[in-house]
Amino acid sequence: MAGGQGTTADTDVLVVGAGPAGLTTALQAHAHGATVRVVDRRGQRIRPSRAMMLHARALEGLRPLGVTDELLDRADTTPQARIHLGPRVVEARLGHAILPDTAFPHLTLVRQADVEDVLWQELQAKGVPVDWGVEFRGLGTEASGSPGLHGGLVHAELHASSSGHGLHVSRFLVGCDGQASTVRGFTGAQWRGGPYRVETVLADVELDGTLDPGLLHVAVGGTGLAFLFALGEGATWRMLATRPAVPHPGARFGQLGPSVPPEEVARLLTEAGLDAAVREVRWSAQVPLQHRVASTFGSDPVFLAGDAAHAHSPAGGQGMNNGVLDALNLGWKLGFASTAGRRLPELLESYGQERRPAARQVLALTHVIFFGEASPHPAARLARNVLPAVAPVLPLLLRRQWLTSKGIRLLAQPFVRYRDSAISRDCPPRAGKWPRPGERLPDAPVAVDGRAARLHELTAAPGIHLLLERDAGTGAVGAGPALANQGPLLHVHRLTSHPGRGVVAVRPDGYVGFRSSGEDPAGLRDWLRLVGAVRD
């Protein structure tokens, strides 16, 4: 374990927690120039999955990091569902959405364990250390007596199961250590929200019965929902069911709690009305649920991401995705701030400005979905009980691809925008045919020097991407070719398919940061300097 002697940082970034948010933060920060270390108090890497789904926006953001193909190889990208409404069964195809603005127009079923494994392997290939059995205990002091935050550096007190106490000195500390985050206590954040009256039960089971294999089965009943995924880790099926919360001493919100008696697992499946019986329970856990958002996502030099910053129900499969999107937003900013050679306060403050409102929006979405899925409220129970009566019209609705597409698009969080961010710059004259700064860049066909391509193909590399319209002069980006040679994290693409003299700058997380319909080299260079993409 590194000791924090003197004022030299051991790494630019220390990430606490090796879940999807922590591993993605590490990859994104490293890809944008930072040295990184990840620590996790777990003694072993492999653990049961809680999440089972990635959405298009997360996959788009992960694509430049080189992990998307491997994730898709491990995923089911053409899922089919059987929705069980009492005696009626409705089929839903979820892998054929009409979404021309993304390379991932489908639901993607993939285990959290596989996501973590792919991210971990990529970090290993990049030489980024991920240390297990190392717990963050707080902000310690050096032997000289300097405090935990000193000279712009963070002195983190760590305890390794193998080597005992030590200090790690870093420029930034990121808490991705879950809903019971230790790091959160050092940000001054309040943990606002409350518990749900409903919890989930997870179980890996073998079944007897007539359920079609390899499909997603959803059972809707008055007492709640039950899901059966053909993605079990210790058995053929993974079951997720809801029930009234059962208090248990020591249970932690959002974490895998005590095992559930096999007869209780069998009861939940029977009450769901599925034509199956539990033959064997290989593994199970109860998971208490809460809805909370931290009052701050941190500030230089300590930040929060993932479950340490927000907690919500599993409705809509948003948890893992929201953590990954936090990480993609924060990681590049930490990378640029680590290498800029100067402070970048607007860039670092923009993380909380952008992601905390997004977390509140996602919490509202999951709150509404979860109310309908599992709430014991009489109105929600009545709605679920009425569903079997409308089952005959559901196949007609589900055959309409536009309806499925709208649902898949909604889960990909199209409502998340950063228009009011300090790093979103719209310079006159505005390029109205491009998204506003702070909005996601949609995928679309383009031509680059006469070669057919797609926008997300062009931007599938770490760094800032400058899109020049066809008639933009060589001075449109300031120093022209010299600016393009600032380093491997600044890319220039001339779109011969787009007439005009405008310039658009796309951030590393896929959002537009700057646009102008005319040549504004000074404005562009000011923006690039604002985010640390160019040297003084």
Preceding omega of 301 cis (within 30 degrees of 0): yes
- pLDDT tens digits along 310-352: 999 998 899 999 999 999 999 999 999 999 988 899 999 999 9
Contact yes or no for 104/59 (Cβ under 8 A): yes
* Residue for token pair 């006159």: 428
Residue 127 Cα distances to 28, 118, 391, angstroms: 14, 14, 53
User: What is the pLDDT at residue 1?
Assistant: 47
Indicate the helix (H) or strand (E) that contains 130. Answer: strand 130-132
C-alpha closest to that of 2 among 163, 120, 123, 149: 163
C-alpha closest to that of 295 among 188, 208, 201: 188
User: What is the pLDDT at residue 4?
Assistant: 39
Q: What is the band of 477 on the pLDDT scale with cuts at 50, 70, 90? A: low
Instruction: Tell me the average pLDDT across 375-396.
Output: 61
Question: Domains in the chain, please, with CATH?
Answer: 11-75+110-193+294-371 (3.50.50.60), 76-107+197-288+376-400 (3.30.9.10), 425-530 (3.40.30.120)
- pLDDT tens digits along 286-320: 999 999 999 999 999 999 999 999 999 998 899 99
User: What is the pLDDT at residue 479?
Assistant: 45
CA 375/CA 291 separation, integer angstroms:
14
Identify the burial level of 203 via C-beta atoms within 10 angstroms of its C-beta, where 0-12 means exposed, 13-18 middle and 19 or more buried.
buried
User: What is the pLDDT at residue 514?
Assistant: 96
The CA dihedral of 275, 279, 284, 289, to the nearest 10 degrees, is 20
Preceding omega of 429 cis (within 30 degrees of 0): yes
User: What is the pLDDT at residue 274?
Assistant: 85
Q: b/e for 65-86, b at 16 or more Cβ within 10 A?
A: bbbbebbbeebbbebebbbbbe
pLDDT above 60 (res 480): no
Which of 140-149, 162-171, 227-236 shows the lowest per-residue confidence on average (mean pLDDT)? 140-149
Within 10 angstroms of residue 428's Cβ, the number of other Cβ atoms is 10
Instruction: Tell me the average pLDDT across 377-394.
Output: 61
Pairing relationship of beta strands 36-40 and 130-132 according to DSSP bridges: parallel
In the chain, how long is the greatest CA-to-CA distance? 74
Q: What is the band of 3 on the pLDDT scale with cuts at 50, 70, 90? A: very low
User: Where is pLDDT greater, at 397 or 88?
Assistant: 88
Those residues whose C-beta lies under 8 Å from the C-beta of residue 67, and which sit 6 or more positions away, are 27, 118, 119, 122
Contact yes or no for 84/274 (Cβ under 8 A): yes
Contact yes or no for 167/142 (Cβ under 8 A): yes
User: What is the pLDDT at residue 148?
Assistant: 58
Q: What is the band of 241 on the pLDDT scale with cuts at 50, 70, 90? A: very high
- pLDDT tens digits along 18-68: 999 999 999 999 999 999 999 999 988 888 999 999 999 999 999 999 999
Contact yes or no for 8/169 (Cβ under 8 A): yes
CA 201/CA 245 separation, integer angstroms:
10
- pLDDT tens digits along 151-186: 579 999 999 988 778 899 999 999 999 999 999 999
CA 39/CA 3 separation, integer angstroms:
15
User: Where is pLDDT greater, at 439 or 274?
Assistant: 439
127: left (phi > 0), else alpha (psi -120 to 50), else beta? left
Within 10 angstroms of residue 503's Cβ, the number of other Cβ atoms is 27
